[in-house]
Structure 1
Amino acid sequence: MSEEIIAFHNLHLPNEVRVFQIPRENIRVWDDNYMVYDVKMKDSLGNDFIFRHYSFYDKWFEVNITLDESGKLITERGPIDWSYNCDICTPCFSTGTELYNLDLELDILVNQDGQNYIVIDEDDFENVVNQGLLSDDERIGARKGLESLIELIESGNLQPYLESVCSFTDLIRLSDTIPHQILQLSDVPLIDATKRRRLYGKRTQL
């Protein structure tokens, strides 16, 4: 029997859909509130590390982190030294093994302490708004998502919240780097603007 694959569709406006093929065994948590997966990767020196992704059915953001094999956060350099890459996005929705969300351009990078942060790509967000590529609900949701995420960070609860969903040291059952492909929006009609806004936050079993 072939291994079940979960297809995660991430729309980057205006038309690029990035599809990540995630083996079921890499899924850490998947219920009506969260979807978390891990991927084993290698750095430039050939050392293994773990990429972890947190998606939410009820929040307008997602979080990516990298961990060493003991579950310790890895820090990367950028506008600040950061360990959390938080994307403002729509709540995810799913049908069977197909999962979807829309990247809303705004991003927050957060230091390893979980409290020092910087908001980036605000110009990109304003560009998609000015081009009329977002609905009013998506535009408002993005700002609310940014506010709620900043509140979570400034309260010192970012790491405790993520660990309550899935502990950083829970790193079993890992596969190698997952494949992905690039599709056009026309290839994925379910995430078209006329359909997606009615589906955010919903999880439908086939």
Structure 2
Amino acid sequence: MDRLLDYDFHPPDDLRVFMYGQQSVLRSDGTALVVEADYGGTVLRHYAFADRWFKINVTTDRAGNFVEEQADPNPIPFCFNCDIATPMVADRNAVFAVDLWVDVLVRADGLTYYVGDEDEFADAMANGWLSEREADAARAGLSELIDIIERKQLIAFLSELQPFRSTEAPPANAMRRVPVSRFPLVHPYSRPSW
């Protein structure tokens, strides 16, 4: 595979695509995807799963040390930005997932966390942008993620998939937005998670 395309759908109509070359792909085995890229000296490592209802982004320096960021108006500095999302669906050199609004921000200690955007999740439910099945699974995914965090296992969980260490992550490619109409894998009623 020369490149991998990661399609990240934010309903109702924002489909973002991230492109990764071979050097960025650390793991892609059907159960988990781990990719990384350098964003101006900060490395962003992205974890997506075929059987879990969340994705996790981790920021490190090039030596593999955790780096916290404070993006206003977030209530806490964070190193782990966890998105409640549908499990990834692989299709040749691409993966697709749907962001389900709820975010969990976690400090570099892997234990201190904040759950946000639950109001946006409720609005999405009211607007019919996700199914009851997706809503139930999102709540279960949030519970599973919080359990991992509260048992002090977040860092170990991620390290087991791909250890944190020094990296030669290539520069990030620019994120693009593409028309949702071209990708039925993310459409309501036809996406696998619906």
Q: TM-score range by the shorter chain?
A: over 0.9
* SS class of match (2:189): helix
Match for residue 67 of structure 1?
60
Is 2:44 the counterpart of 1:51?
yes
Per-residue Cα deviation, 1:104-140 (whole angstroms, up to 9, x for no partner):
0000001111111110001110000011111111010
C-alpha change, 1:58 and 1:170, in structure 2 (3 Å) is farther
Contact persistence 1:114–1:156 (CA under 8 A)? yes
Matching of residue 180 in structure 1 with residue 169 in structure 2: no
- State the one-letter code of the partner of 2:39: M
1:30 counterpart residue number = 28
Identity across aligned pairs (percent)? 31
1:33-80: per-residue Cα shift (whole Å, max 9, x none)?
1000010121xxxxx221110000010000001111110000112311
**TM-score of the two chains, using structure 2 as the length reference:** 0.94
Asked if residue 189 in structure 1 is aligned to residue 187 in structure 2, the reply is: no
- After superposition, residues 136-147 of structure 1 pair within 5 angstroms as 136-147=132-143
Whether 1:80 aligns to 2:86 is: no
CA–CA distance in structure 1, aligned partners of residues 98 and 39 of structure 2: 25
**Structure-1 separation of matches of 2:16 and 2:77:** 26
Matched, 1:104 2:100: yes
- 1:193 is paired with a residue whose SS is coil
Cα distance in 2, alignment partners of residues 195 and 35 from structure 1: 23
Structure 2 gaps, min length 5 = none
1: CA distance between counterparts of 2:171 and 2:100?
28
Q: In 2, distance between residues paired with 1:116 and 1:67?
A: 17
Q: How far apart, in 2, do the equivalents of 1:112 and 1:56 lie?
A: 21
Query: Could you tell me which amino acid in structure 1 is paired with residue 130 of structure 2?
Result: L
Looking at structure 1, the residues matched to 42 and 79 of structure 2 have their Cα atoms a distance apart, in angstroms, of: 13
Which residue, 8, 11, 22 being the options, matches 1:10? 8
Q: Which runs of 4+ in 1 moved over 2 A?
A: none
Query: How far, CA to CA, are the matches of 1:60 and 1:12 in structure 2?
Result: 15
Aligned residue among 110, 124, 128 for 2:124: 128
Structure 1, gaps ≥5 residues long: 43-47, 201-206
TM-score by length of 1: 0.89
Q: CA deviation at 1:81?
A: 2.0
1:165 is displaced (CA, Å) by: 0.3
CA distance in 2, matches of 1:113, 1:175: 26
Instruction: Tell me, yes or no, if the aligned pair for 2:185 and 2:192 is still in contact at 8 Å.
Output: no
Q: Count matched residues.
A: 191
In the TM superposition, residue 83 of structure 1 has moved relative to its aligned partner by 1.1
Residues 153 and 186 (structure 1), Cα distance of their counterparts in 2 relative to 1, 3 Å cut: same
Aligned partners of 1:176, 1:74: CA distance in 2, in Å?
17
